Structure 1
Amino acid sequence: MTFRRATADDVPAIVALLADDMLGAAREAPGDPAYAAAFAAIDADPNQFLAVAEQGGRILGCLQLTFIPGLSHRGAWRGQIESVRIATDQRGSGLGRRMFDWAIAQCHTRGCRLVQLTTDKARPDARRFYEAIGFVASHDGMKITLQD
């Protein structure tokens, strides 16, 4: 298993992972050219790290790390983990845990003092997984969806 920075060639496989669940199926549009522009913006930003888990040439998982500077916590950097997906046939294999261990190590290497994530309330299995690996639901996240 290799964890590495995603390339533009990985975008279709990443989008397929994002679309392969009940929420993603309704909001993702594989083949949409907007993904190429989004990838270019992510790839150009040194505080973004779009990562894939690859084995035998197959993308089995993905996540996006965002490194956030801040003034609170005495100027602490935070690592934000988002867009986590594991291929359906790999769930329960330990890949998610290995991918998170890798991601948290990346945050540590970058000097982050906190690692945080959000999870959709419609994904109770994901929440149980995050709690099992040590994340604490210490805050309530809130969002506003902006229309085009």
Structure 2
Amino acid sequence: MTDSPTLVIRPATEADLPAIVAMLADDPLGATRESLGDLTPYRTALERLIGDPNQHVVVAVRAGRVVGTLQLTIVPGLSRKGATRAIVEGVRVHADERGSGLGTRFIEWAIEKSRAENCALVQLTSDVSRTDAHRFYERLGFTASHVGFKLQL
């Protein structure tokens, strides 16, 4: 999973959690829903994700430092003639790395992995307030084709 001598995309480990949570919290939306104080719920979630072969939580590491994270979920389905789809979640790039091409490399990794998993499509959601992210995904070939809904439980 090496992209270059200076960038490695690899599965996330428990040791990566402080850096992952810091990136999740480093924007206006994440600042209100993430907490760096107690990593216990994140540790529990990561253990569940690592134990599920349809979940791929990865980090990008440059010069020994975690600079990005992404979760890819593989979902078997009945629709589209029994197609399997991939869902991209939690894409975050450290502020120091934005504009470096890492986000593009992450999405390319997710697409490559999805193809290797025989997925028929890759989908993602993005908060309506993230207009820069929307332009980024559209540049990579994604289309805003659906309206999403959420119900907080």
Cα deviation, residue 51, structure 1: 0.8
What residue in structure 1 maps to residue 112 of structure 2? 105
Q: 2:90 aligns with which of 83, 87, 91?
A: 83
Are residue 5 (structure 1) and residue 4 (structure 2) matched? no
Unaligned 5+ segments in structure 2 are 1-6
Q: Shift of residue 31 of structure 1?
A: 3.2
Percent sequence identity over matched residues? 53
Counterpart residue type for residue 14 of structure 2: A
CA offset digits 1:62-110 (Å, max 9, x no partner): 1100000001111111010000000111111111001111111001001
List structure 1 segments (4+ residues) > 3 angstroms apart after TM superposition: none
SS of 2:120's partner is strand
Check conservation: 1:3, 1:51, Cα contact below 8 A.
yes
* Residue of 21, 35, 41 corresponding to 1:15: 21
- Structure 1: tracts of 5 or more residues without a match: none
Preserved contact between residue 12 and residue 31 of structure 1 (Cα < 8 Å) = no
C-alpha separation between the residues in 1 aligned to 2:143 and 2:108? 16
Query: Secondary structure of 2:28's match?
Result: coil
Q: What amino acid sits opposite 1:128 in the alignment?
A: R
CA–CA distance in 2 between the matches of 1:126 and 1:62? Answer: 15
Letter in 2 for 1:127: H
Aligned to 2:134: 127
SS of equivalent residue, structure 2 residue 145: coil
Tell me the distance in 2 between the aligned counterparts of 1:101 and 1:62: 13
The TM-score, its normalising length taken from structure 2, stands at: 0.93
Cα offsets for 1:89-137 (capped at 9, x unmatched): 1111111001111111001001101000000011111111011111000
Query: For the Cα contact (< 8 Å) 1:43–1:50, is it kept in 2?
Result: yes
- Equivalenced residue count is 146
One of 93, 101, 110 as aligned partner of 1:94:
101
| Counterpart code for 2:144 | A
What RMSD over aligned residues (CA atoms) do the two structures have, in Å? 0.7
How many angstroms apart in 2 are the aligned matches of 1:30 and 1:107? 31
The answer to whether the Cα contact below 8 Å between 1:49 and 1:65 also exists between their aligned partners in 2 is yes
Please give the alpha-carbon distance, in whole angstroms, between the structure 1 residues aligned to 2:80 and 2:137: 23
| One-letter amino acid of the counterpart of residue 132, structure 1 | R
